[in-house]
Amino acid sequence: MMFWNHVSNRLSAYLHGELRPEESRRVAEHLMICPRCRDEYEEIKFGSQLAARLSKDLARAQAPATLWAGLEEMIDGVEAERRRPGAVQGAVATWWKIALAGAAALAIALAVFRFYPRAPRPGWDVTRIEGEPRIGSKTVGEAGKLRVGEWLVTDDSSRAEIRVGEIGQVQVDPGSRVRLVEAKADENRLALDRGKMQAFIWAPPRQFYVDTPSAVAVDLGCAYTLEVGADGQGLLSVIAGWVAFEWQGRETFVPAMAMCVTRPRFGPGTPYFSDASEDFQNALAIFDVAESGSDARSNALQTALSKSRKRDALTLWHLLARADGDDRLRVYNRLAELIPPPAQATPEAVMRGDRAALDLWWEKLELGSAEWWRIWKGPVPSQTK
Amino acid sequence: MSDFRHFMKRGAVMSDMASERRLIEACQRGDREAFHELFDAHKDGVWTIALRFTGDESVARDVTQQVFLKLFTSIAGFRHESNFKTWLYRLVANECMDEFRKKRRLIPLDFLKGGRPAFSDDRDEDCGEVEIKDWREEPLQEERLARLEISEAVLAALMQLKPKLRMAIVLKYFEDLSYEQMAEALGCSMGTVASRLNRGHKALAQKLAHLRS
């Protein structure tokens, strides 16, 4: 029996994409010819789906608010113990001369450190709107400063406004945690850990970013709301302008009146207009998370296509890049019914992911020029002239 | 475009790392406020692991506080040679296992499966440890399962897994760690991580086989 050829001990790693490409290929080939390992793979996959269900339904738990108080008492106890004279008496008796010299050196060093002029960490002004928002452990009065690395936290009854340097403002709604990650002339970045924020940015594109647990929202000159749940899922709703949602090579462009969900481990989903039918939105949600090549994914795509309107061309255009094989061809055909493709966007060109052809088709959607997408990835036009 | 994205992503990660490094260095200087910030940044992750591993809020509270107390007393020894989060999660995993061992000492011998000696043959590869069978590892009753929602049933099944398998599942699915990060957090090889996940997945599938149809 070719026992050593079985791949059962690598099946979870294969499932999680943790194997090197050649190993992964070997496992896939073996699964095609070995019913025993295939059965085992199905069992492991089912166990993995159950576990994934846990993380989806239960999400990350929030630590009780009272934890810190109890911990602080314990820390006080440890520090009091450290300061107890007996704890260091012997050492002082033996090494008092060295210790005194060290203490003197330390005092001098501390004095130099204390009076040496240091630049403060950059920060943004915060204004209290209501309640008692906090920066770190301190309550913001009427106004405060959020410095790089600090968290702004609002409880269920507080709200605050952050002035994003000279380029915009962000309102932080109740129950939110926002951290200032970077405050530079060319990069302004917040991290929204949970809760909801509304951003209004008037700077040129690509100067303001918001990190969420599963995507980065890149401002392209716009107003939008961004919400992150306790499970790390995010919802972006654009009010004006455009926002790009990016994660590990996957990107989504979201125009005004459109929305996009982002999910941990999956990244940004497919964007859709907020007035799309519920069936259409539900089908997209399934398509975004279902396993590639699965019947569930294919069926969801079929539903989305059958429910799509001309206005949903935005969604279908994004689906062209996300669907594979026959599914991509089905998307092509439906989009072609809604918005006839330009001559260059042949099925062959689109099937091989020809960007120029896709861009030309994009132009026909009348949502703004594809040229503009490419510009924002490069230098700002006014700076290049 | 991909280069640009890579640059942007790397920039964001490096910026986060730099901020966290500054925070850790402040903690190492004894800055209590900085430690509070570090606590705020990681408390939900630590709490989630402790809660999902122990299945008991009061125990999870003890575990979380002990982890951060140990962090406070040992952070001076952190040399930035490893990833801070996985270093912290190693404290959590150890504390959870310690908690399990404490509880296990209180379990009457009658509960051990079939009256067999407390040790099973279930040797954990690479780590070379021998594990005591968890007395809770018994089939879920059908009627009990019928009363549970699926995620509750999975959670109940998770609680019946051996501690090492349970911890692997918790780190993978609640904290989304890679095998490399898990190996660092659990102090074992990536092969052992893969093996524990394999066994954990199979055990879950077998305990909840009736949901498969």
Q: What percentage of chain B exceeds 70 in pLDDT?
A: 69
CB atoms near residue A231 (< 10 Å): 17
Q: How many residues does chain B have?
A: 213
Per the CB < 8 A criterion, the answer to whether B162 and B122 are in contact is yes
pLDDT at position A110, please?
Answer: 59
Judged by CB atoms within 8 Å, which residues 10-49 of A form the interface with B? Answer: 10-13, 16, 18, 40, 43-48
Retrieve residue A182's tokens.
Answer: 């970077």
pLDDT-derived band at B118, boundaries 50, 70, 90? very low
Per the CB < 8 A criterion, the answer to whether A172 and A195 are in contact is yes
Beta strands (DSSP E) in chain B are 119-124, 129-132
- Under 8 Å CB-to-CB from A304, ≥6 apart: which residues? A280, A283, A284, A287, A315, A319
Q: What percentage of chain A exceeds 70 in pLDDT?
A: 83
pLDDT-derived band at B111, boundaries 50, 70, 90? very low
Retrieve residue A60's tokens.
Answer: 């990350």
Higher confidence at residue A315 or residue A73?
A315
Indicate the range of A376-385, B79-88, B149-158 predicted with least confidence: A376-385
pLDDT-derived band at B1, boundaries 50, 70, 90? very low
The burial of A180, by beta-carbon neighbours within 10 Å (0-12 exposed, 13-18 middle, 19 or more buried), is given as buried
Retrieve residue A102's tokens.
Answer: 């060290």
- For residue B20, what is the nearest residue in chain A, using CA coordinates? A149
Residue B206 scores a pLDDT above 90: yes
pLDDT-derived band at A273, boundaries 50, 70, 90? very high
**What distance lies between CA B35 and its chain's CA centroid?**
22
CB contact under 8 A, B12 and A189: yes
Mind giving me the DSSP string for B165-188? Answer: HHHHHHHHHTT---HHHHHHHHTS
Query: What's the CA angle centered on A116, arms A111 and A119, to 5 degrees?
Result: 140
A54 → closest Cβ in B11, B45, B151: B151
pLDDT at position A84, please?
Answer: 62
| Distance set, CA A49 to CA A46, A132, A141, A294 (Å) | 5, 42, 48, 14
Residue A270 scores a pLDDT above 90: yes
Chain B closest-CA separation from residue A337 CA (Å): 30
Indicate the range of A128-142, A259-273, A330-344, B110-124 predicted with least confidence: B110-124
Mean pLDDT for the stretch of residues A27-55: 88
For the entire predicted model, the pTM comes to 0.47
Higher confidence at residue A205 or residue B106?
A205
Average pLDDT, chain A: 82
CB contact under 8 A, B15 and A265: no
CB contact under 8 A, A54 and B8: no
Q: Residue B55: which region, alpha, beta or left (left: phi > 0; alpha: psi -120 to 50)?
A: left
CB contact under 8 A, A187 and B206: no
Separation of alpha carbons A80 and A193, rounded Å? 35
A215-225 pLDDT tens trace: 899 887 678 99
Residue A259 scores a pLDDT above 80: yes
Sign of CA dihedral A101, A107, A112, A118: positive
Indicate the range of A123-137, A194-208, B6-20 predicted with least confidence: B6-20
Mean pLDDT for the stretch of residues A168-183: 92
- For residue A192, what is the nearest residue in chain B, using CA coordinates? B41
Helix (H) or strand (E) holding A251: strand A250-255
CB atoms near residue A262 (< 10 Å): 27
DSSP β-bridge partners for residue A194: A177
pLDDT at position B138, please?
Answer: 46
B92-101 pLDDT tens trace: 999 998 888 7
**What distance lies between CA B143 and its chain's CA centroid?**
30
Average pLDDT, chain B: 77
Higher confidence at residue A254 or residue A377?
A254
pLDDT at position A91, please?
Answer: 41
Indicate the range of A49-58, A181-190, B122-131 predicted with least confidence: B122-131
Mean pLDDT for the stretch of residues B152-173: 92
Separation of alpha carbons A35 and A44, rounded Å? 14
Indicate the range of A107-111, A291-295, A346-350, A371-375 predicted with least confidence: A371-375
CB contact under 8 A, A47 and B172: no
Q: What is the longest distance spanned by two Cα atoms in chain A?
A: 91
The answer to whether residue A264 neighbours chain B at the CB level (below 8 Å) is: yes
DSSP β-bridge partners for residue B177: none
Torsions phi, psi of A20, nearest 5? -70, 155
pLDDT-derived band at A108, boundaries 50, 70, 90? low
pLDDT at position A124, please?
Answer: 92
Residue A190 scores a pLDDT above 80: yes
Q: Minimal CA–CA distance to A191: which of B28, B110, B15? A: B15
Chain A closest-CA separation from residue B175 CA (Å): 8
Retrieve residue A34's tokens.
Answer: 């070995």
Chain B closest-CA separation from residue A276 CA (Å): 30
B166-205 pLDDT tens trace: 999 999 999 889 999 999 999 999 999 999 999 999 999 9
CB contact under 8 A, A53 and B206: no
Q: Minimal CA–CA distance to A268: which of A223, A326, A210, A310? A: A210
Most confident of A94-103, A221-230, B7-16, B116-125: A221-230
pLDDT at position B8, please?
Answer: 47
Residue B130 scores a pLDDT above 90: no
Indicate the range of A240-244, A374-378, B18-22 predicted with least confidence: A374-378
Residue type, A67: L
**What distance lies between CA B22 and its chain's CA centroid?**
26
CB atoms near residue B161 (< 10 Å): 22
Chain B closest-CA separation from residue A52 CA (Å): 6
Residue type, B80: H
Indicate the range of A130-134, A146-150, A165-169, A227-231 predicted with least confidence: A165-169
Query: What's the CA angle centered on A165, arms A162 and A166, to 5 degrees?
Result: 120
Most confident of A376-380, B91-95, B124-128: B91-95
A30-43 pLDDT tens trace: 888 888 888 899 99
pLDDT at position B79, please?
Answer: 83
pLDDT at position A360, please?
Answer: 87
Mean pLDDT for the stretch of residues A237-242: 84
- Under 8 Å CB-to-CB from A385, ≥6 apart: which residues? none
Torsions phi, psi of B73, nearest 5? -80, -20
pLDDT at position A3, please?
Answer: 36
Separation of alpha carbons B129 and B101, rounded Å? 14
Kindly list the residues from chain B whose CB atom is less than 8 angstroms away from the CB atom of residue A75: 32, 35, 69, 72
Can you give the three-state secondary structure of B190-207, one letter per residue?
HHHHHHHHHHHHHHHHHH
pLDDT at position A299, please?
Answer: 92
- Under 8 Å CB-to-CB from B124, ≥6 apart: which residues? B131, B164, B192, B195, B196
* ipTM for the complex shown: 0.77
Residue whose token pair is 């949502």:
A367
Indicate the range of A292-301, B10-19, B117-126, B153-162 predicted with least confidence: B117-126
Residue whose token pair is 């004279």:
A85
CB contact under 8 A, B204 and A47: yes
